């Protein structure tokens, strides 16, 4: 650690020391902890991404629980240090936890929390926004307007792709992928093709029912198809959105070869994790195919973009803001804090980590439970 890191302290006399590596939205999460005899320490350093050494400094000699961020590398070194400091609880303030070595945490007897149930709609909405922005060239047109280039309506000005009646492809139809699919189907009356390791019966039923509704209304019904391979989705879809988890099987899922399979005028969206796309191959593909467009929330080497990406007009890029709605971020903070508190207090695990409304109600105390612990079975809790 280069210099002592600045800390904000709440309830200094609290029995349990809980550290958060970042200030998190809202104050309810702090209150929930301090009401239960926790001393809360929040790192307020300006540095965006804390190093392992920085976090070791924050853990110190006594730390009962730690709330961390997806930008941090939580492996054996940090979990051993947390264990040595008497800690049993860690929570990511995220639903994804590819930055966490869960086996290392389990070996140290430390629970790993995540925050499903509050990100789904917000993240899907951003993926839908990126889809529309890329298809209708919103960012390019905005830049053009601000630069004073607009001289009047023209038949060929910023012509993009119509979504209605086209096919939306979803890779990874879990919580967020399914919510995104519904938005595109309901909002733009697109047909669905999806690829997932598991069948999404609920999504299929929804599209069938919505198609029936449209038919009775005298409109063209929407359709669905479960693809037998990812390539089938890439070949057939006009807009493709990526929503799988990041693991060994999805690393560089989209690469030079898979990009070549896609339609020349397709739109590709990624609000999952950056390394799902081979970004250098994507840059080359975008250069060679100006009508191919992407909307990216996440990048392979965050916070950096691969060389050339920033210069490409057919790319819409935003800085990993898919979960950035006030409701979601406050909810994530609350759930992360309760994951840590619940373990410290030896509360049981909540029965359904996707149904967390009762933890979020401002007007009542949350249930005495850990909302979502990913290694609860391994730990036998
Ligand atoms: N950009 C953001 O800010 C943001 C916000 C929230 C979540 N995410 C990312 O989105 C991911 C998905 O979140 P979720 O809540 O929908 O998770 P989820 O577990 O509900 O869904 C993931 C789906 O991916 C599928 N899958 C796994 N491997 C696959 C493969 N090889 N091919 C096709 N499908 C595969 C799974 O079967 C599952 O249905 C998270 O893991 C996280 O990394 C990003």
Mean pLDDT of the chain: 97
| CA angle centred on 378, ends 376 and 380, rounded to 5° | 65
What local confidence, expressed as pLDDT, does residue 3 receive? 60
How far, in Å, CA of 301 to CA of 285, rounded? 18
Mean pLDDT of 316-342: 97
Tokens found for residue 261: 């399979």
Q: Is 17 a catalytic residue?
A: no
- List, in order, residues 6 or more apart from 126 with CB less than 8 Å away: 271, 297, 318, 321, 322, 323, 324
Largest CA distance in the chain: 69
Q: Is 143 a catalytic residue?
A: no
Q: Is 302 a catalytic residue?
A: yes
Domains of the chain: 7-118+324-379 (3.40.50.720), 120-317 (3.40.50.720)
Tokens found for residue 15: 């029995």
- Distance (Å) of CA 12 to CA 3, 37, 202: 23, 10, 48
Q: Which of 175, 226, 320, 343 is the catalytic position? A: 320
Confidence of residue 36 (pLDDT cuts 50, 70, 90): very high
What local confidence, expressed as pLDDT, does residue 5 receive? 81
Q: Which of 121, 231, 265, 302 is the catalytic position? A: 302
Percentage of the residues of the chain whose pLDDT score is greater than 90: 99
**pLDDT exceeds cutoff 60 at 32:** yes
Tens of pLDDT along 70-81? 999 999 999 999
Q: Which of 39, 136, 273, 293 is the catalytic position? A: 273
Confidence of residue 173 (pLDDT cuts 50, 70, 90): very high
Confidence of residue 226 (pLDDT cuts 50, 70, 90): very high
With beta carbons less than 8 A apart as the criterion, state whether 28 and 330 touch.
Answer: yes
Mean pLDDT of 224-230: 98
What local confidence, expressed as pLDDT, does residue 242 receive? 98
Please report the atom of ligand 1 found closest to the CA of residue 321: 3
Confidence of residue 268 (pLDDT cuts 50, 70, 90): very high
Which residue's CA is minimally distant from atom 38 of ligand 1?
A: 174
Tens of pLDDT along 98-156? 999 999 999 999 999 999 999 999 999 999 999 999 999 999 999 999 999 999 999 99
Which residue's CA is minimally distant from atom 13 of ligand 1?
A: 176
- 3-state DSSP percent of the chain in helix, strand and coil, to 5: 35, 15, 45
What local confidence, expressed as pLDDT, does residue 157 receive? 98
Most informative mutation of 71, 94, 96 for ligand 1 (most atoms within 8 A of CB): 96
Q: What is the DSSP string of 205-249?
A: HHHHHHHHHHHHTTSPPP-EEE-SSHHHHHHH-SEEEE-PPPSTT
Mean pLDDT of 217-236: 98
- pTM metric for this prediction: 0.93
HSE-CB of 358 using CA atoms within 13 angstroms? 11
What local confidence, expressed as pLDDT, does residue 4 receive? 63
**pLDDT exceeds cutoff 70 at 1:** no
Confidence of residue 372 (pLDDT cuts 50, 70, 90): very high
What local confidence, expressed as pLDDT, does residue 88 receive? 98
Pocket of ligand 1 (CB under 6 A): 95-96, 116, 119, 123, 171-177, 195-198, 243-246, 249-250, 271-273, 297-298, 320, 322-323
């Amino acid at each position: 650690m280069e210099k002592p890191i600045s800390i904000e302290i709440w309830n200094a006399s609290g029995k349990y020391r809980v550290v958060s590596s970042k200030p998190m939205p809202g104050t309810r999460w702090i209150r929930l902890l301090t009401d239960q005899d926790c001393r809360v320490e929040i790192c307020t350093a300006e540095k965006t991404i804390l190093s392992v050494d920085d976090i070791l400094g924050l853990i110190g000699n006594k730390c009962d629980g730690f709330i961390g961020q997806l930008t941090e590398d939580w492996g054996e070194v940090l979990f051993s240090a947390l264990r040595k400091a008497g800690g049993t609880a860690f929570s990511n303030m995220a639903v994804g936890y590819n930055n966490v070595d869960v086996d290392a945490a389990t070996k140290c007897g430390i629970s790993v929390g995540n925050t499903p149930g509050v990100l789904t709609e917000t993240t899907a909405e951003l993926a839908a926004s990126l889809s529309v922005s890329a298809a209708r060239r919103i960012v390019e047109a905005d830049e053009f307007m601000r630069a004073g280039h607009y001289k009047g309506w023209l038949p060929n000005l910023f012509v993009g792709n119509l979504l209605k009646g086209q096919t939306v492809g979803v890779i990874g139809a879990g919580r967020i992928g399914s919510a995104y699919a519904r938005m595109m189907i309901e909002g733009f009356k697109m047909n669905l093709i999806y690829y997932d390791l598991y069948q999404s019966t609920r999504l299929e039923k929804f599209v069938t029912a919505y198609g029936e509704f449209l038919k009775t209304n005298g409109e063209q019904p929407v359709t669905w198809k479960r693809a037998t391979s990812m390539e089938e989705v890439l070949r057939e879809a006009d807009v493709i959105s990526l929503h799988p988890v990041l693991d060994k099987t999805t690393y560089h899922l989209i690469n030079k070869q898979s990009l070549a399979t896609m339609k020349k005028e397709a739109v590709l969206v990624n609000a999952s994790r950056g390394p799902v796309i081979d970004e250098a191959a994507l840059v080359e593909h975008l250069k060679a195919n100006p009508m191919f467009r992407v909307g990216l929330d996440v990048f392979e080497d965050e916070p950096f973009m691969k060389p050339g990406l920033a210069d490409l007009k057919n790319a819409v890029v935003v800085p990993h803001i898919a979960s950035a709605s006030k409701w979601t971020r406050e909810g994530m903070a609350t759930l992360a804090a309760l994951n840590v508190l619940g373990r410290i207090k030896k509360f049981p695990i909540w029965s359904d980590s996707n149904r967390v409304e009762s933890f979020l109600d401002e007007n009542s105390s949350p249930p005495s439970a850990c909302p979502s612990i990913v290694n609860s079975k391994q730990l036998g809790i």
